[in-house]
Amino acid sequence: MRRSRTVVTGIGLATPGGVGAEATWRRLCAGTPTASTDPRLAGLPVDFSCRVPDEELTAALGPGLRWRTDRFIHLALAAAREAVQDAGLAPGEWDADRVGVVIGVGSSSRDTDLPVVQRLTSGEYQKISPTTVPRALPNMAAGEIAADLGAKGPGFGVSTACASGATAIGVGRQLLLGGLCDIALVGGAESGCGPLAGMGFWRLGALSARRHDPAGASRPFDTERDGFVLAEGAGVLVLERAEHARARGATARAVLSGFGATSDAHHPTSPHPDGEGAARAVRAALAEADLTPDDVHHVNAHATSTPLNDRMEAAVLHRIFRRPPPVTATKSILGHSLGAAGAVEAAVCVLSLHHQTVHPTANLDAPEPGIDLDIVTKAPRTCRIDTVLSTSFGFGGQNAVLVLQTP
């Protein structure tokens, strides 16, 4: 099994750019940020975010699931349904015992936490919903996808903070190569735009305070960056061994050829200042893919728009590459969807390979001196792209890197 290639046969996205992969791709290529004032954050020190359009999400799901499941699960289901359809799979016809689901979630969306606390403090215990616990469990994104699509193989959630989505993709690949399933639905989902998450990240000093200009707040690698923008979203990929996909006549959209995962063992929230752990993850992913840095044509960077992360990541890219290839920062447009971000960006990498195009980075008006990367800005860039590197880093010093290639 270890000699098999893992291929991506389907992708699905639910992002602030739109519900659906093509809608998201169009928004990214337009280079228009999605951040705007968020009524749910009204009166708070940071009152803007990047949210998935409600009407599109409702249209994708229908009304039945909304009352008993949390928003991060809605996003996961929308992305998973699209990915399965894109892969040409019919859930009623597949061997359900051989279909696995691995979804990364940094934390549940916590949409129900405040009402529950309010009812507890007011003594209205009977008004607390019996769905409070199951709708908030992070593993329920994988569980609800499995139930919705009839996937009865290995199923679980993984959590490595903002690297969760990328970690889930790597773990799903290991399930395939270990022979534990034939199809793996993998990715990440999170909705972190509520008041509790918002104020927690604000108190950490991680959020942009650019209230006067939400659309300009996420500005990776820019001199005036001051933090990330809260976002929500989901990305799901269908993975198969190449021979399994070929046997059923499926088209491979990309090859997932490498995965690297490391820990900084340094600090709860700050990356290691010299990026030692991140660099090891990049090298591990390239080694597993049997590639050298010179083989990489494009990097989709983690690029959160925080001062420490962007500076560290730029230093790592310079350390790995003699001359770093074209770089883009998806979060400049879609915001930071936390545990979903790595999966969203992996799906965007598949789209970049398909279109042979790097989408632009928004709001990069004055690159920080010393970063000195070839960052694509202003307009999409069409170029040869056979190999893409996608980086994800999370609290706890957890790093996950993916290598995707043309089939």
DSSP string, 214-269: GGGS--TTBTT---B-BBEEEEEEEEEEHHHHHHTTPPP-EEEEEEEEEE--S-SS
Backbone φ and ψ for 168, nearest 5 degrees, come out as: -60, -40
Q: Which of 29, 50, 74, 162 is catalytic?
A: 162
Q: Which amino acid is at 331?
A: K
Is 354 among the residues known to form the active site? Answer: no
195-204 and 113-121 are packed helices; what angle lies between their axes, rounded to 10 degrees?
100
Q: One of 74, 244, 298, 336 is an active-site residue; which one? A: 336
Q: What is the DSSP letter of 400?
A: E
Q: 322-354 burial string, b = 16+ CB within 10 Å, else e? A: eebbbbbbbbbbbbbbbbbbbbbbbbbbbbbbe
Question: Of 208, 42, 17, 188, nearest to 107 (Cα)?
Answer: 188
Measured distance CA(134)–CA(350) in Å, rounded: 33
Closest to 150 (Cα-Cα) out of 88, 91, 74, 87: 91
Q: Which member of 244, 272, 297, 302 is catalytic?
A: 302
Judge whether 302 counts as a catalytic residue: yes
Q: Which residues pair with 262 in a beta bridge?
A: 399
Q: What is the DSSP string of 336-396?
A: B-GGGHHHHHHHHHHHHHHHTEEPPBSS-SSBPTTT---B-BSS-EE---SEEEEEEEETT
Contact 336, 231 (CB under 8 A): yes
* Distance (Å, whole) CA 159 – CA 18: 25
Q: How many CA atoms lie within 13 A of 284 on its CB side?
A: 17
The 3-class secondary structure across 185-196, one letter per residue, is EEEEEEECCCHH
DSSP 8-class letter at 397: T
Spatial distance between the Cα atoms of 387 and 403, rounded to a whole number of angstroms = 7
φ, ψ (nearest 5 deg) of residue 347: -65, -40
C-beta separation of 7 from 242 below 8 A: yes
CA distances from 355 to 26, 88, 348, 376, 406 (A): 11, 20, 10, 15, 11
Q: Which residues are designated catalytic? A: 162, 302, 336
